[in-house]
Chains A and B, each alone.
Chain A
Amino acid sequence: KAGVTQTPRYLIKTRGQQVTLSCSPISGHRSVSWYQQTPGQGLQFLFEYFSETQRNKGNFPGRFSGRQFSNSRSEMNVSTLELGDSALYLCASLGDPSTEAFFGQGTRLTVV
């Protein structure tokens, strides 16, 4: 069974640009969650999608958005990038019921 795939692994962007990150969950999993991880704040929840609908949302500005497709693949978008958006972005695939999260390797985003 293939694991969670996140692309790209590394990304360097300049302030003001926008970025799109992709996540393919474990086959059969319908729930995908996104997290931002920084050394100071730990894992912070961005949002969760289930069957193409946003089910939960964290406390991030509207510059952070996401969507989920019918095949459960998910994308997250960050517009008007700021230096503080530099982080490891992790996608988690959750089974149903979603008590355990299976993570991808993450996308390391650096904003310069």
Chain B
Amino acid sequence: TQLLEQSPQFLSIQEGENLTVYCNSSSVFSSLQWYRQEPGEGPVLLVTVVTGGEVKKLKRLTFQFGDARKDSSLHITAAQPGDTGLYLCAGLRMNRDDKIIFGKGTRLHILP
């Protein structure tokens, strides 16, 4: 069972379009992170959300943490080819002395 479910698995859209990808769980997380990974490289941390309902913006990227701290979304406005990559969500479960858990990721491809 995947503790963090990401959807969709794959997404291919035209440059300039908007998109949203999701990260869902039945567990409560103390924090969630989003990473972007390019082929052959390690994931790069984009943002950490900590408070339920929190919204963070990073240029054209908007990250939201669900009120119940069980889910998160990433919205990209006016997607560009440079946004292409594997987007991973990850987090630490609440009250668990545990490892960081990763979702399987959404592979995003922006067509020029």
Interface residues of chain A, those whose CB is within 8 Å of chain B, are 4, 6, 33, 35, 41-43, 45, 48, 56, 58, 88, 90, 92, 94, 98-106, 108
| B112: interface (CB < 8 Å) | no
**Binary A-proximity of B42-70 (CB < 8 A = 1, otherwise 0):** 11110010000000000000000000000
In the complex, what distance in Å separates the CA atom of A32 from the CA atom of B105? 22
Interface size class, chain B? 20 to 34
Chain A nearest CB, measured from B58 CB (Å): 15
Task: Say whether B102 contacts A43, CB under 8 Å.
Answer: yes
| B24: interface (CB < 8 Å) | no
A–B complex contacts, Cβ < 8 Å, 10 sampled: A35-B102, A43-B105, A99-B30, A101-B33, A101-B90, A103-B35, A103-B42, A103-B44, A104-B42, A106-B40
Interface residues of chain B, those whose CB is within 8 Å of chain A, are 30-31, 33, 35, 40-45, 48, 88, 90, 92, 98-100, 102-105
Task: Say whether B40 contacts A108, CB under 8 Å.
Answer: yes
